Structure 1
Amino acid sequence: MSVPSSKKITLILGAELDKLVTLPWTWLTLMGTFILNLVLAAAFTSVGLQGEAGTQSVLDTGLASMGYLQAGFVILGILATCSEYAGGQIRTTLTTMPWRGYQLSIKHFALAAITIPAAFIIAASGVLYTFLRMRDTAVGFEIDTMIKALVGATGFLTFTALLSAAVGALIRRTTPALVVLLGYYYVVSPFSGDFLPAFKKYFPDTAGSYMYLRPSPNEINVLTPMQGAGILMLWTLIIITAAIVFYRKRDA
């Protein structure tokens, strides 16, 4: 019996949200990332306080931990798609929801629904902590600048989780997916500037960093936040599309 598309979307979205919120690793990962952010914010703030008063930026210091926080959202994205393969639950999922294209697409929407508020809270907590510690010594900032930076940071972490979920759907195994992505983010990408300096800014993590970072005055040919968001979004959509194509063709 055919099911209307709107009904399919509602059923799948409810099921995918339920799976994510009841997966213990979802909350353990987010809680661990939140604690890590506060620890790093405290460390970066302490270093900033030792500098010359009036030269530190609250936003730059509060968001300095983003390069480390992305690891938590990489793990979150991978677990969202790989966890069902570990115990064979994917067979039950595909039996009850045989619309593979809808199912994987909406899984990413469900992941975004959880990631967006979590990413905002985590990013904002670091900035808030830094502001409370450095408000008397740091350079001032405008509220709209802070909001733009936090929105950019939230978008960056959300796209990172979605891209990681798509890679997880392609690889289907947690450990290999973690090796591939963490190897890219912390080994390949940092050293790529020595070999591909002209193209590094178009890599997903580098382009995404322009969504929240203020470029150095000496940096040339920088991307705007919108350009960085567009490039990261394009990377994410391409990998999600590839994941959906392979997902529909492969056996569970």
Structure 2
Amino acid sequence: MSVSSSRKITQILGAELDKLVTLPLIGLTLLVTFILNLGLAAAFTSVDLQGAAGTQNILNTGLSSMGYLQAGFIILGILATCSEYTGGQIRTTLTTIPWRGFQLSTKYLALTIITIPAASFTTASGVLYTFIMMKDTAVVIEIDEMIKSLAGATGYLTLTTLLSAAIGALLRRTTPALVVLLGYYFIVSPLSKDFLHNTKYFFPDTAGYYMYMPPSSDEINVLTPMEGTGISLLWTLIFITAAIIFYRKRDA
């Protein structure tokens, strides 16, 4: 008796989730990222408490670690798609699930299911630590504003993870993917912002910044959270589409 389409989807999604959950490096990456984020949150909070007079902004301090935190989720995305090529497991996967485009799309869905709670918990813990330490000197933050910023931070880290996974699928090797992505996010992008001017807002990391961090009063021509989300989402969909196309055409 043939299995229904919905049953197949559930089984394939379950298999992809199982592969990600049981991969030791995935759990280790998330754990190390969480611990480092708390350490960075503590460091930024301590600096702000010691160095500045007057009231502080909890969100600005609690989310200051995002620039470094994204590295852990970049690694997460790369590991999710490149790990199967390391030991040749990709051949077993394609033998079991011959529908390549569908299989890769399901992997991205499984990665999203894992990333959203991990990103939400990690970012919220940093902001919570900052709130506990700065509650007597901090500017009062509306709960709606905090929820929007945390949702934006979670969305940005999720899109960054998926974009990294797509590039990992295109390159199929962990080290080249790490060099390309970490090189862009931590070297190329920061150095190029001084001469790109308004063009910089159309790149995924800069646009993603405005998904969670409200602009300062002296900034002009900045993006709204929705515009930042749209640009980041567009970049992610472009690379995912390219990854699926090449995945279907290339040999394992």
- TM-score normalized by the length of structure 1: 0.97
Q: For the residues of structure 1 that align with 2:196 and 2:223, how far apart are their CA atoms?
A: 17
The aligned residue for residue 39 of structure 2 is 39
Q: Offset of 1:8 from its aligned partner?
A: 3.1
Contact kept in structure 1, 2:77 and 2:162, CA below 8 Å:
yes
Q: For the residues of structure 1 that align with 2:14 and 2:61, how far apart are their CA atoms?
A: 39
The aligned residue for residue 175 of structure 2 is 175
The aligned residue for residue 80 of structure 1 is 80
Contact kept in structure 1, 2:198 and 2:221, CA below 8 Å:
no
| Greater shift in the superposed pair: 152-161 or 48-57 | 48-57
| CA deviation string 1:32-82 (max 9, x = no partner) | 000000100000000110134433101110000000000000000000000
Q: For the residues of structure 1 that align with 2:31 and 2:221, how far apart are their CA atoms?
A: 37
Matched, 1:109 2:112: no
Q: Offset of 1:129 from its aligned partner?
A: 0.3
Q: Offset of 1:87 from its aligned partner?
A: 0.2
Q: Offset of 1:3 from its aligned partner?
A: 6.3
Q: Offset of 1:214 from its aligned partner?
A: 1.3
Matched, 1:91 2:91: yes
- Kindly report the root-mean-square deviation, in angstroms, between the aligned alpha carbons of the 2 structures: 1.3
**What residue ranges of structure 1 are gaps of 5+ in the alignment?**
none
| Greater shift in the superposed pair: 113-122 or 6-15 | 6-15
Q: For the residues of structure 1 that align with 2:38 and 2:228, how far apart are their CA atoms?
A: 26
| Count of residue pairs brought into register by the alignment | 252
Map 1:213-232 onto structure 2 (within 5 A): 213-232=213-232
The aligned residue for residue 234 of structure 1 is 234
**What residue ranges of structure 2 are gaps of 5+ in the alignment?**
none
The aligned residue for residue 15 of structure 2 is 15
Q: For the residues of structure 2 that align with 1:15 and 1:247, how far apart are their CA atoms?
A: 19
Q: For the residues of structure 1 that align with 2:232 and 2:35, how far apart are their CA atoms?
A: 26
Q: For the residues of structure 2 that align with 1:198 and 1:2, how far apart are their CA atoms?
A: 55
Q: For the residues of structure 2 that align with 1:136 and 1:195, how far apart are their CA atoms?
A: 40
The aligned residue for residue 128 of structure 2 is 128
Q: Percent identity?
A: 76
SS of 1:28's equivalent in the other structure is helix
The aligned residue for residue 192 of structure 1 is 192
- Flag the 1:187–1:2 CA change in 2: closer, same or farther, 3 A: farther
User: What letter corresponds to residue 10 of structure 2 in structure 1?
Assistant: T
Q: Offset of 1:7 from its aligned partner?
A: 3.3
Q: Offset of 1:198 from its aligned partner?
A: 2.0
The aligned residue for residue 55 of structure 1 is 55
Q: For the residues of structure 1 that align with 2:244 and 2:5, how far apart are their CA atoms?
A: 17
SS of 1:196's equivalent in the other structure is helix
Q: Offset of 1:191 from its aligned partner?
A: 1.4
Contact kept in structure 2, 1:53 and 1:138, CA below 8 Å:
no
| Greater shift in the superposed pair: 7-16 or 206-215 | 7-16
Q: For the residues of structure 2 that align with 1:60 and 1:27, how far apart are their CA atoms?
A: 28
User: What letter corresponds to residue 234 of structure 2 in structure 1?
Assistant: L
User: What letter corresponds to residue 196 of structure 2 in structure 1?
Assistant: L
- Flag the 1:4–1:242 CA change in 2: closer, same or farther, 3 A: farther
The aligned residue for residue 206 of structure 1 is 206
| CA deviation string 1:97-146 (max 9, x = no partner) | 00101000110000000000000000000000000000001111111111
User: What letter corresponds to residue 184 of structure 1 in structure 2?
Assistant: Y
Q: For the residues of structure 1 that align with 2:121 and 2:152, how far apart are their CA atoms?
A: 13
The aligned residue for residue 119 of structure 1 is 119
